[in-house]
């Protein structure tokens, strides 16, 4: 039986999502709990994708296969008792045998949170990136609009990216203000390595006036990582939602 789970985590105390020898990772912690339930038989989980150290998730998705006759809805209760309080299985359901948490992704939404306070707020220090400079939000929205749609995002991906096809479609980039925070919401059909963090970093530099909104079009055309803005820090990033239809 294939089980599909939605999991939320606080990335602060993890060495990222993916299993790394000798490090605490989200995947490692869940696989350990699952293997315990399966009486020591190792159970692999497959997620929609990795997240880096410090990156949080509201709704990461993974699947695993089990022979145990446990109703799907019981899995969150069973697993949440065994894993740290900084991971929470939000829900579980039986998926078709052919379902694949990575290959079947249709769209993902990421959010990136900025703390605009003059001095970094202590209770947001692991959950939002402190950026106390004056930001022209309208300019940022204009730049964001240029990034929406289908583009080659080579300039907005890590120079280490090995993927050949770097054309992706962004459904929307919204820039929302809630009190002292600014939130970027980015939904698209696929994301290259560091893509959201480079988009966030570039939008911030548009906000401060370093780049004009229209310049992001030239950045896209350049197809060169050096053409776009900085990579914003990991701890402002949240994998918010993964959609399969």
Residue ranges in contact with a copy of itself by CB under 8 A: 8-12, 56, 58, 76, 80, 85-91, 117-123, 125-127, 178, 238
Map tokens 């989980």 to a residue.
Answer: 45
By C-beta, is 142 or 181 nearer to a copy of itself?
181
82 contacts 172 by C-beta, under 8 angstroms: no
By C-beta, is 161 or 243 nearer to a copy of itself?
243
User: Residue 169's closest CA among 149, 198, 194, 147?
Assistant: 149
189 contacts 158 by C-beta, under 8 angstroms: no
30 contacts 64 by C-beta, under 8 angstroms: no
- Burial string for 166-183 (b: 16+ CB within 10 Å, else e) reads bebebeebebeeeeebbb
By C-beta, is 64 or 238 nearer to a copy of itself?
238
Rounded CA separation 55/150 (Å): 26
Report the nearest approach of a copy of itself to the CB of residue 11 (Å): 8
Q: State yes or no: is 52 an active-site residue.
A: yes
User: Residue 129's closest CA among 53, 235, 12?
Assistant: 235
Rounded CA separation 162/62 (Å): 24
Residue 110, annotated as binding a ligand: yes
By C-beta, is 12 or 169 nearer to a copy of itself?
12
Report the nearest approach of a copy of itself to the CB of residue 78 (Å): 13
Report the nearest approach of a copy of itself to the CB of residue 160 (Å): 27
Measured over the CA atoms of residue 144, residue 148, residue 154 and residue 156, the dihedral's sign is: positive
CA atoms within 13 A on the CB side of 222: 14
Report the nearest approach of a copy of itself to the CB of residue 72 (Å): 15
Rounded CA separation 19/203 (Å): 32
Which is the catalytic residue, given 10, 52, 86, 152? 52
Report the nearest approach of a copy of itself to the CB of residue 216 (Å): 29
Question: In the beta sheet, which residues pair with residue 8?
Answer: 88
By C-beta, is 42 or 123 nearer to a copy of itself?
123
* Binding-site residue ranges for substrate: 110
Active site members: 52
Q: Which residues are annotated as a binding site?
A: 110
């Amino acid at each position: 039986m294939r089980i599909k789970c939605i999991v939320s985590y606080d990335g602060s105390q993890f060495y990222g999502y993916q299993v790394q020898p000798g490090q605490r990772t989200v995947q490692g912690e869940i696989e350990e709990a699952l293997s315990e339930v399966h009486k020591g038989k190792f159970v692999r989980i497959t997620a929609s994708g990795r997240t880096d150290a410090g990156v949080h998730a509201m709704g990461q998705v993974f699947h695993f296969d089990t022979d145990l006759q446990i109703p799907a809805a019981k899995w969150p209760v069973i697993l949440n008792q065994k894993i740290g309080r900084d991971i929470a299985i939000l829900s579980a359901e039986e998926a078709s045998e052919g379902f694949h948490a990575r290959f079947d992704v249709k769209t993902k939404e990421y959010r990136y949170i900025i703390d605009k306070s003059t001095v970094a707020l202590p209770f947001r220090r692991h959950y939002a990136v402190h950026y106390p400079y004056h930001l022209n939000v309208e300019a940022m929205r204009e730049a964001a609009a240029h990034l929406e749609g289908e583009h080659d995002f080579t300039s907005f991906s890590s120079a280490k990216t090995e993927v050949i096809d770097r054309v992706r479609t962004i459904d929307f980039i919204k820039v929302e203000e809630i009190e002292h925070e600014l939130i970027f919401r980015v939904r698209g059909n696929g994301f290259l390595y560091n893509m959201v963090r480079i988009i966030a970093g570039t939008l911030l530099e548009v906000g401060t006036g370093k780049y004009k909104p229209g310049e992001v079009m030239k950045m896209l055309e350049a197809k060169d990582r050096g053409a776009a803005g900085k990579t914003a820090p990991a701890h402002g990033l949240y994998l918010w939602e993964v959609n399969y239809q």
